[in-house]
Structure 1
């Protein structure tokens, strides 16, 4: 590697910038917005498939009571549904409904649009090209961690 580049300083700068970017992107509001715990539970069900409330609580590192309240709010809004576990009829598994998937999609689309608007209005074509050129490097860095 190049001796005159300081990998430590580069790492600190990237972490600082990426934290700010992620924080700002997460702050994008969407109609009918979900709370952070609701978004997290819904996203986990979307990515991981049906799960029990206790499994989700463990994954999110929160109490089963808190997860139960979160899932209750999501169920009341029609974003998750409860079903008997096909392997053990005594257990209940939760899964994302079509409305829940649409809510997640709307949230992701709103975030993407907000970022695109900022890029289109505050960056030059040359700066956009620099950002696009850096994307594969950032992805490779992420894959190497």
Structure 2
């Protein structure tokens, strides 16, 4: 394996930092309706996965099971999630979004999409937007392993 170049190091650092800032900005754009960032993250994850267990959510979000239990309890009290026994393992519960949770997740996705589209339209020229499209194609190659 050949040594990495300083440009590879610089690009990886810049990419991680920018993606982190973009993720935070997209979270800010979403309507939190008084939810904590952790609660919004769980709603978003459930919106993508349809259903999960508390332990899988805790692992995916990098929190302790006790912390996830608190998050889920708050979301359940707000009527955004429901829990039901796992049909294959009665000790576990399956967590899903309620209709209200799905609506909030859908609204948040739309708000993020609209903000990003509008920001790219207002802040970038056509050539810059085309450069972003080309850069995304390059970044896709990182995930093709």
Tell me the TM-score normalized by structure 1: 0.78
Match status 1:44 vs 2:45: yes
Structure 1 unaligned spans of 5+:
none
Number of matched pairs: 141
Q: CA RMSD in A?
A: 2.6
**CA distance in structure 1 between the aligned counterparts of 2:39 and 2:53, rounded to whole angstroms:** 15
SS of the residue 2:94 aligns to: strand
Compared with structure 1, are the counterparts of its residues 14 and 59 closer, same or farther at alpha carbon in structure 2 (3 Å cutoff)? Answer: closer
**CA distance in structure 1 between the aligned counterparts of 2:68 and 2:86, rounded to whole angstroms:** 18
* Paired position in structure 2 for 1:82: 83
Greater Rg over alpha carbons, structure: 1
1:1-145 paired onto structure 2 within 5 Å: 6-30=7-31, 32-89=33-90, 91-144=92-145
Tell me the TM-score normalized by structure 2: 0.78
Compared with structure 1, are the counterparts of its residues 120 and 83 closer, same or farther at alpha carbon in structure 2 (3 Å cutoff)? Answer: same
SS of the residue 1:78 aligns to: coil
More strand by share: 2
